[in-house]
Amino acid sequence: MSPPALRGFGPLGLAAIVVILAGNFLIAPLSAVLVLLWAYASQMPWPELGFVRPKSWTKSIVIGALFGAVFKLVMKAIVMPLLGAPAVNAHYHFLTGNTAALPGMIATLIVVAGFGEETVYRGYMFERLGKLLGSSRRAKIAIVLITTTLFAAAHYPDQGIPGVEQAVFTGLVFGGIFAVTGELLMLMVAHATFDLVALALIYWNVEAKVILWP
């Protein structure tokens, strides 16, 4: 199993793509773990997947957390109501006041959303599509649109149309940022914070209270 073959688009490379993308159908975030294994086996340089050492860990984490929190509040208070989304997320309403479920949900959001989805939809897919489409401005725009479409579609089974609509916005924003920076850390923190703020709004039953658009 040669590293170049794993990184290419021959039979072995295509098989690796199929296996990696199928991982989450078994258990999330298996796809992200498989990406890391594929990168190690193929001797893929980690920076090509967005795993870049930041100039300042503290700055990246703080910016990511603040951006993720504000982004979620703007989506919940203004954008989603304009799209006609329900004030309350019925699918996850069972988490309201459910202290017993908090530790598991917090861990899931950090690992699955923050680490898992950013590794797959931004790091891995951008690298694979970049090899096919190139690095021009048009290619990057196309990659953002393709990954956003796949990211949004993945949210339909458990969150329905509102989940897809929200994922379109987050996919475009996170994808656009990654297309410019090529760095995952800030996005991982922002994505995890985005979902943790959503969890907090549900847990404290204040989803409807933060809506600013009548």
Same-domain check for residues 109 and 150: yes
Same-domain check for residues 52 and 37: no
For the stretch 160-203, pLDDT in tens is 999 999 999 999 999 999 999 999 999 999 999 999 999 999 99
Q: What angle do CA 74, 110, 51 make, to 5 degrees?
A: 95
For the stretch 24-68, pLDDT in tens is 989 989 999 999 999 999 999 999 999 999 999 999 999 999 999
Same-domain check for residues 114 and 22: no
Same-domain check for residues 18 and 51: no
Same-domain check for residues 32 and 52: no
DSSP state of 97: T
Nearest-CA neighbor of 119 among 214, 23, 4, 5? 23
Written as one string, the DSSP assignment of 147-174 is: HHHHHHHHTHHHHHHHHHHHHHHHHHHH
Give the range of the structural domain holding residue 34, as residue numbers without chain letter: 1-44
Residues 6+ apart with CB under 8 A from 116: 24, 28, 29, 31, 32
β strands within 63-151, DSSP E: none
Is the pTM higher than 0.75? The answer reads: yes
pLDDT band at 1; cut points 50, 70, 90: low
Number of domains in the chain: 2
Same-domain check for residues 7 and 59: no
For the stretch 9-34, pLDDT in tens is 999 999 999 999 999 989 989 999 99
Same-domain check for residues 53 and 107: yes
Nearest-CA neighbor of 30 among 105, 129, 119, 160? 119
Q: Hey, how many other C-beta atoms are within 10 angstroms of the C-beta on 154?
A: 19
Same-domain check for residues 27 and 58: no
Same-domain check for residues 40 and 75: no
CA atoms within 13 A on the CB side of 36: 10
